[in-house]
Copies of this chain bind each other. A is one copy, B any other.
Amino acid sequence: MTDRLHGTYVASDRIRSFIRDALEAVGIPARDAVVVADLMARADLIGSDAHGIFRLPHYVARIKAGALNLRPQIKVIRETPGTAVIDGDNALGHLVMNTAAQTALDKAAACGIAWVGAFNSNHAGAGAVYTRMALERDMVGIYGAVASGNAMAPFGGADLLLGTNPISIAIPTARGAPVVLDMATTVASNGKIKHAALRGESIPEGWVIDWQGNSITEPRRASEGFLAPAGGPKGSGLSLVLGLLAGSLNGAAMGSAVVNFNTDLHSATNTGHFICVLSLSAFGNPEELKERMSTAAEEIRSSRPLGTNGPVRVPGDESSRKLAENTSNGVFLPEELIESLNSLAVEVGLPPILSLGA
């Protein structure tokens, strides 16, 4: 099926197999390639399309440039009953975070809560992919990361010392979509700005600020400024504390030590993340607790919209809707992305993800 916006719906199985084959083609062991492909495809399924197959050409470029360790020994180097620190050994971030999340889920089952930090990691995609892992075990997932590049100046400052440092919090419900917050601490993400540039649209005031403090509204000029923090000092403060907890606490890069992985294909990034998991059973009967969460979420969904707005949404409603829709219809990939994936296929000796016009 070809869409009027010039693109194609691709089944998630095909997205998964293409990512897996491409990663294997550049030296990632088969078992690891399957894990990473599944996690990247999950990002596409929940609509985090800036963190799915879209990232593959860039990941492959960094792998080919030798920036990552293809035979990593990801290991817990320090632990207590409720915590662990994981040395990612410069693996693909998805592998590190997958280990971190599984470690946290197991520890939380014993301790009620767990916090697992990682260093020597790399870009791991969408935080919600990891926090959502907690849901099926009736647990709450909380994720934070140091972004893979500094796109923000601290509030009131002009030096790029902070990133979009995201936070995701997933809370299970009994009915309806789970509550899943997944947000950058900047007003807008780099992905949104790139999309606007592609579409030839301008961006709103307040997204990108130049060195005099004025808004840049032409997305192609975004590199002449920096991303503004969400809520001014609040987004800036959140970005900093997330950076300290995901980065500095684990011995990962923070501040001026952060490598911009978009422009630097060769260096290890020493990326840091954390995941905190909280077991509902530590707080009561999980079914009752999920019922309470649903009640609170439903009350918001059924509340009055402001002015001419549509129905009020809860964080996660849109990603759960996308998950259902993309699982049945396939994931929409824009034509430009398919072309870039097909070029990648040629480069690594694979068949195209699909033929355009098919």
Binding site for B on A (CB under 8 A): 78-83, 85, 108, 110-115, 117, 140, 153-159, 161, 169, 171, 179, 181, 183, 187, 209, 211-213, 230-235, 237-238, 240-241, 243-245, 247-251, 254-256, 276, 278-280, 282-284, 289, 292-293, 295-296, 299-300, 303-307, 309-310, 312-315
CB distance from A145 to the nearest CB of B (A): 15
**A305 — which chain B residues lie within 8 A by C-beta?**
156-158
Question: Of the candidates B140, B179, B230, B292, which one forms a contact with A240 in the assembled complex, judged by CB atoms under 8 Å apart?
Answer: B179
Complex Cα spacing A181 to B242, Å: 11
Question: Of the candidates B187, B211, B237, B293, which one forms a contact with A315 in the assembled complex, judged by CB atoms under 8 Å apart?
Answer: B237
Asked if residues A213 and B307 are in contact (CB atoms below 8 Å), the reply is yes
Question: Of the candidates B112, B211, B244, B310, which one forms a contact with A171 in the assembled complex, judged by CB atoms under 8 Å apart?
Answer: B244
Number of copies: 2
**A211 — which chain B residues lie within 8 A by C-beta?**
306-307
**A251 — which chain B residues lie within 8 A by C-beta?**
284, 292
**A156 — which chain B residues lie within 8 A by C-beta?**
305-306, 309-310, 312-313
Complex Cα spacing A180 to B241, Å: 9
Complex Cα spacing A305 to B140, Å: 39
Asked if residues A234 and B231 are in contact (CB atoms below 8 Å), the reply is yes
**A187 — which chain B residues lie within 8 A by C-beta?**
231
The residue in chain B whose Cβ has the minimal distance to the Cβ of A107 is: B82
Asked if residues B81 and A256 are in contact (CB atoms below 8 Å), the reply is no
Other A-B pairs, 9, CB within 8 Å; known A181-B241, A276-B276: A112-B115, A154-B312, A156-B305, A156-B313, A181-B238, A212-B307, A230-B234, A234-B235, A244-B293
Given A234-B230, A234-B235, A154 and B241 contact (CB-CB distance below 8 Å): no
The residue in chain B whose Cβ has the minimal distance to the Cβ of A278 is: B115
Given A296-B244, A309-B156, A81 and B234 contact (CB-CB distance below 8 Å): no
